[in-house]
Amino acid sequence: MTPAEIRDEILDILSEIAPDEDLSDLEDAKSFREQMELDSMDFLDIVMELRKRHRVQIPEDEYTNLASMASTVSYLEPKMKDIIKA
C-alpha cells in the first residue's frame, strides 16, 4: 500500500471507531488525542482493526508510533508495503 492508501485506511478505521468525529480537517502532524475524543479503548480498537483487516501485528511497546496520522503512516508503510488495497 502507498502512504496515501494507508492514510485512507486509517481514516476509514477512525470513521468506524468515532463516527461522530469530523475527520475532514484532521492535521497529520498533530496527535489524534489532541484532535479527537479517543480513549485508550478506541486506540486499542484501531490496533485491532489493523490486525483484523491486514494482519498487521503491532507490539504494545510500539503503540506510541501511532500517535498522529503522520507517525502512523510512517510506521505502517514498511509493514504494509506488500499489501494490495482491495
Contact between 44 and 25 under an 8 Å Cβ cutoff? The reply is no
pTM: 0.89
Whole-Å CA distances, 33 to 11, 43, 53, 63, 83: 14, 9, 23, 13, 28
Q: What is the pLDDT of residues 5-43, one digit of tens each?
A: 999 999 999 999 999 999 999 999 999 989 998 888 998
Contact between 3 and 10 under an 8 Å Cβ cutoff? The reply is no
Structural domains for the chain: 3-19+31-80 (1.10.1200)
